[in-house]
Chains A and B, each alone.
Chain A
Amino acid sequence: MPKIEIDANHCKGCGLCIDACPKKVIVFSEDINKLGYHPATPKNEGCIGCGICFYTCPEPESITVYKEDKSA
Chain B
Amino acid sequence: MNIFLRKPKGFYDVYLRSPASDKTNTHYCPGCGHGIIHKLIAQAIEDFDIKDRTIMISPVGCSVFVYYYFDTGNVQVAHGRAPAVATGLKRANPDSIVISYQGDGDLAAIGGNNIMQAANRGENITVFFVNNAIYGMTGGQMAPTTMIGQKTMTSPYGRNIYNEGYPLKVVELLATFEATTYLERVSIMDAASINKARNAVRKAIQCQIDNKGFSLVEILSTCPSNWKMSPVEAKKWIKTDMITYFTPHVTKDKINERESHKVEKIRLNSEETKSKLDLPEKRDLVKIDMSSVKEKYKNPRIKIAGFGGQGVLILGNMLAIAGMEEGFNVTWLPSYGPEMRGGTANCHVRIDEKPIGAPSVAKADVLIAMNKPSLEKFEKEEYLESGALLIYNTTLIDIEPSRKDVDIIAIPATKMADDMGDLKVANMIIIGAYMEKTKLINEEALERALQTGVKRKNLMDLNKKAIKAGMDFVKNLK
Contact B42 A60 (CB under 8 A): yes
How far is A14 from B35 in the complex, measured between Cα atoms in Å? Answer: 12
> Would you list which residues of chain A between 1 and 42 have a CB under 8 Å from chain B?
2-3, 9-10, 12-16, 19-20, 22, 35, 37
How far is A52 from B190 in the complex, measured between Cα atoms in Å? Answer: 9
Residues of B contacting A68 with CB < 8 Å?
1-2
Q: Which of B1, B38, B190 has the most CB of A within 10 A?
A: B1
Stretch of B6-14, B49-57, B139-147, B392-400 on the interface side: B6-14
How far is A32 from B2 in the complex, measured between Cα atoms in Å? Answer: 29
Contact B28 A55 (CB under 8 A): no
Chain B positions 150 through 168: 1 when the CB is less than 8 Å from some CB of chain A, otherwise 0: 0000000000000000000
Contact A60 B5 (CB under 8 A): no
> Would you list which residues of chain A between 24 and 72 have a CB under 8 Å from chain B?
35, 37, 49, 51-52, 54-61, 63-69, 72
Q: Is the interface of B mostly helix, strand, loop or mixed?
A: mixed
Min C-beta distance of B137 to chain A, whole Å: 16
What residue in chain A is nearest B28 (Cβ atoms)?
A58
Contact A16 B235 (CB under 8 A): yes
**Which of B4, B30, B38, B194 meets A65, CB within 8 Å?**
B4
How far is A63 from B28 in the complex, measured between Cα atoms in Å? Answer: 16
Min C-beta distance of B41 to chain A, whole Å: 11
Q: Which of A10, A14, A19, A64 has the most CB of B within 10 A?
A: A14
How far is A37 from B11 in the complex, measured between Cα atoms in Å? Answer: 24
Residues of B contacting A65 with CB < 8 Å?
3-6
Contact B2 A57 (CB under 8 A): no
Contact B2 A66 (CB under 8 A): yes
What residue in chain B is nearest A35 (Cβ atoms)?
B25
Chain A CB within 8 A of B36 CB: yes
Residues of B contacting A59 with CB < 8 Å?
25-26, 35
Contact B231 A14 (CB under 8 A): yes
Residues of A contacting B90 with CB < 8 Å?
none
How far is A65 from B8 in the complex, measured between Cα atoms in Å? Answer: 12
What residue in chain B is nearest A34 (Cβ atoms)?
B22
Residues of B contacting A49 with CB < 8 Å?
4
Chain A CB within 8 A of B78 CB: no
What residue in chain B is nearest A69 (Cβ atoms)?
B2
**Which of A10, A19, A67 meets B232, CB within 8 Å?**
A19
Contact A55 B190 (CB under 8 A): no
Residues of B contacting A35 with CB < 8 Å?
22, 25
Chain A CB within 8 A of B452 CB: no
How far is A57 from B31 in the complex, measured between Cα atoms in Å? Answer: 8
Residues of A contacting B191 with CB < 8 Å?
20, 22, 52, 55-56
Contact A2 B232 (CB under 8 A): no
Q: Shortest 3 CB-CB distances between A and B: which pairs? A: A58-B35, A14-B31, A12-B30
Q: List 13 A-B contacts (CB under 8 A).
A: A3-B1, A9-B25, A12-B29, A14-B30, A14-B231, A16-B232, A20-B191, A35-B22, A52-B191, A59-B26, A60-B11, A64-B7, A67-B4
A residues at B contact (CB < 8 Å):
2-3, 9-10, 12-16, 19-20, 22, 35, 37, 49, 51-52, 54-61, 63-69, 72
Interface contacts beyond A56-B188, A60-B42, A64-B6: sample of 15 additional A-B pairs, CB < 8 Å, sorted by A: A12-B29, A14-B30, A14-B31, A16-B235, A20-B190, A22-B191, A51-B5, A55-B40, A56-B36, A58-B26, A58-B38, A58-B39, A63-B5, A65-B4, A66-B4
